[in-house]
Amino acid sequence: METEIINKQAHKRTGLIILIILIVAFLIYYSVMSLLSPGRSLERITNEYAIKQDEKTKIDEKVFSDSTYLAKLKEKAFLQSKIALAESDSIYLTINLADSTANLEIYGVVVHSAKIKDLKMSNILKKGNDYVISSFLSSPFTISSSIATIKKDPLMIKMAPKDTSEYKPDIMPDTSITEPVNYRLEMTDGTRIYIYQQENEKSSDRMNLFRFDIRDRLHESWNSLKSVAVFKIPEYHLFIKIRIPRADAKIIYRALPKNGQIGIYR
Amino acid sequence: MEDNVLNNGQLSESEKAPDEKQTGKKDDKSQLIDSSLPNLQSKEKLLHILHIILFIFIPVLVVLFMITFVLYFVPVLQEIKSGPKTEISNDPLLKKDAGYNKQIGVLVKDIQRLKRKYNTYSTGLSYIVINTTDNKFFLYKNKKLIREGSCSTGSYKKLLTAEGRSWTFKTPRGKFTIQGKRTNPAWHKPDWAFIEEGVPVPPKDSPLRWEAGVLGDYAMDLGDSYMIHGTIYKRFLGMPVTHGCVRLNDEDLEVVFNTLNIGSKVYIY
């Protein structure tokens, strides 16, 4: 009887140890695969946008790390991007990370400007090779999808009355409701721009942001897990996260077309 | 175990006669064990409960740890590595190099050309900007803001009929131009204006379709039947209540009408 109990306990212990080993092994495997993904993303960008020199007109490599040259290159890249956007004849967003502004523009005219309060971005964008990143940002980004805590078009359905007896005049809309505004804009190349409302004093605002963030993380991790399960390196998304006033965040989200464009200056 | 039990104040038996002690010793022991049994059982129960709690809590904690690790720790780890950073230099010798100066010259020329091109988009003429989210307008002349105020734009209502017809009352966004200017405009009511009130729709050329005085003193056409005009519902200014047109109060409308010309740009966002 006693030996049976001891055996059972030993089995349990062995099982527990195996489970712990399996969990740790999985977490290590998942971490390693996830750590490889930014590198692959960087490699893709570098291959596409790195300096390609012509043997005949080869320029001294030092030029590409000179501060004046890089500043001019960034300015040119942003202008190129803005012109491409202006010619699209639509509403677009320009994010100037250098002077912390997010501007809504239509055909080259700034129609709305918002001050960026807080900024976070991928280390690749922040610390990556200046020439490569400037070239990468020289073309506008196109939105492919978005997730938001507010509706893009807050449509209300109204059934037409059959006759005058059924007719009810419209009531004054309630404009005092302030819903939390947080959203993610995903670009066609996988880059993600997160726009969060700056106001965070109310617990409902913080809760809304937490729910939005956890949903995004769960979605991202689920995709990574699916890739890792088939021994594939998960996809890494470059990101820019900004905080702006709620009213501005709402205006920008509602104004941008579904497949609108965004220009970024770093 | 026995000693413990004996030490727990059960030693009064030692005062009994030795013969009695001999025979009663075994009974005493079993009695003592019996009396301590509930104690042991309760300890066992406690251990069992503890086991169950641990059995539930440990997996929960493990799962929570895994979720936190995957959701929060891994993304932090991903941001540690970023690849080689550019060593930004400011070498004075390089600035004297002809090749370098040629490169800078090319860049400066490109920037000037692009700036010139970009500046052609922003007009020096008068234009109006309309914010449909906050229901505000901004009037510009020579790139300077000369007036701003409240307006009313599309209500975002979708009117549906039993026959399957539908209209969405929203102000279109983008760049528009003033296509026509009218004073004392009369409104040619479209079908939805009747359907919305449950009134039979008159024929297209019916005089019932014309209504005077509801559009204010002026109207500026934007195309597709959209207009900037006045309103009799002034208490609704600053709210999304229109069928797609932009409504202004009388004073603002007059200034806008006098500032904008046919061809002036209207930017709606």
In this complex, the residue of B78, B120, B129 whose CB is nearest that of residue A111 is B129
* Residues B46, B134 within the same domain: no
DSSP-assigned letter for residue B73? I
In Å, how far from its chain's centre is CA B120? Answer: 34
Q: Which domain holds residue B153?
A: 127-268
**Which pLDDT tens digits describe chain A residue by residue (266 residues)?**
667 777 877 887 888 889 889 989 999 999 999 999 999 999 999 999 988 777 666 777 778 888 888 899 989 999 999 999 999 878 999 999 999 999 999 999 999 999 999 999 999 998 888 889 988 998 899 999 999 999 998 899 999 998 888 888 777 777 777 889 999 999 999 999 999 999 988 899 999 999 999 999 999 999 999 999 999 999 999 999 999 999 999 999 999 999 999 999 98
Statement: residue B73 has pLDDT above 90: yes
ipTM: 0.85
Picking from B205, B178, B177, B176, the residue whose alpha carbon sits closest to that of residue B189 is B205
Give the per-residue pLDDT at B5. 43
Give the per-residue pLDDT at B2. 43
Model confidence pLDDT, tens digit, residues B168-193: 999 999 999 999 999 999 999 999 99
Give the per-residue pLDDT at A266. 85
Say if B115 falls within a structural domain.
no
In chain A the domains, ranked by start, together with CATH numbers, are 61-152+178-265 (2.40.440.10)
Say if B68 falls within a structural domain.
yes
Statement: residue B9 has pLDDT above 80: no
Give the per-residue pLDDT at B23. 55
* Residues B74, B135 within the same domain: no
* Residues B29, B141 within the same domain: no
**Which chain A residues have a beta carbon less than 8 Å from that of B84?**
129
* A46–B62 CB contact, under 8 Å: no
Statement: residue B210 has pLDDT above 90: yes
* Residues B194, B69 within the same domain: no
What's the pTM value of the predicted model, to 2 decimals? 0.83
Say if B55 falls within a structural domain.
yes
Record the tokens describing residue A73, joined without a space: 């290159």
Say if B53 falls within a structural domain.
yes
Contacts across the A-B interface (CB distance below 8 Å):
222
Query: How is the beta sheet containing B265-268 ordered, strand by strand?
Result: B144-150, B136-141, B127-131, B265-268, B174-177
**Cα A243 from Cα A55, distance rounded (Å):** 46
* Residues B73, B131 within the same domain: no
Map tokens 């009887």 to a residue: A1
Give residue B198's pLDDT band: very low, low, confident or very high (50, 70, 90).
very high
**Which chain A residues have a beta carbon less than 8 Å from that of B193?**
none
Domain count of chain B?
2
* Residues B216, B132 within the same domain: yes
Statement: residue B1 has pLDDT above 50: no
* Residues B173, B48 within the same domain: no
Model confidence pLDDT, tens digit, residues B11-41: 444 444 555 555 556 677 777 767 777 777 8
Say if B86 falls within a structural domain.
no
Distance to chain A for B24, nearest Cα, Å: 32
In this complex, the residue of A64, A79, A159 whose CB is nearest that of residue B111 is A79
Torsion, CA A49, CA A51, CA A52, CA A57, rounded to 10: 150
* Residues B143, B48 within the same domain: no
Strand partners, B160: A159, B166
* B88–A129 CB contact, under 8 Å: no
Picking from B153, B16, B111, B211, the residue whose alpha carbon sits closest to that of residue A76 is B111
Q: What is the mean pLDDT of residues B46-63?
A: 87
CATH number of the domain bearing residue B238: 2.40.440.10
Say if B106 falls within a structural domain.
no
**Cα A256 from Cα A248, distance rounded (Å):** 12
Record the tokens describing residue A105, joined without a space: 């523009």
Handedness of CA A166, A172, A177, A178 (dihedral sign): positive
Say if B95 falls within a structural domain.
no
CB A60 within 8 Å of CB B106? no
* Residues B148, B254 within the same domain: yes
Picking from A173, A179, A153, the residue whose alpha carbon sits closest to that of residue B158 is A153
Give the per-residue pLDDT at B158. 95
One-letter amino acid identity for B178? I
The pairing of strands B127-131 and A261-265 is: unpaired
**Cα B236 from Cα B153, distance rounded (Å):** 10
**Cα A38 from Cα A119, distance rounded (Å):** 20
Angle between helices A2-49 and B18-68 (to 10 degrees): 10
Give the per-residue pLDDT at B8. 47
* Residues B139, B210 within the same domain: yes
Give the per-residue pLDDT at B24. 58
Strand partners, A263: A94
* Residues B138, B235 within the same domain: yes
CB A70 within 8 Å of CB B100? no
Give residue B4's pLDDT band: very low, low, confident or very high (50, 70, 90).
very low
Record the tokens describing residue A47, joined without a space: 């291959």
Is any Cβ of chain B less than 8 angstroms from the Cβ of A58? no
Model confidence pLDDT, tens digit, residues B36-50: 777 778 888 888 888
* Residues B259, B134 within the same domain: yes
**Which chain A residues have a beta carbon less than 8 Å from that of B160?**
157-160
**Cα B71 from Cα B64, distance rounded (Å):** 10
Q: What is the percent of chain B where pLDDT is above 90?
A: 61
Picking from B172, B228, B167, B221, the residue whose alpha carbon sits closest to that of residue B194 is B167
Statement: residue B165 has pLDDT above 50: yes
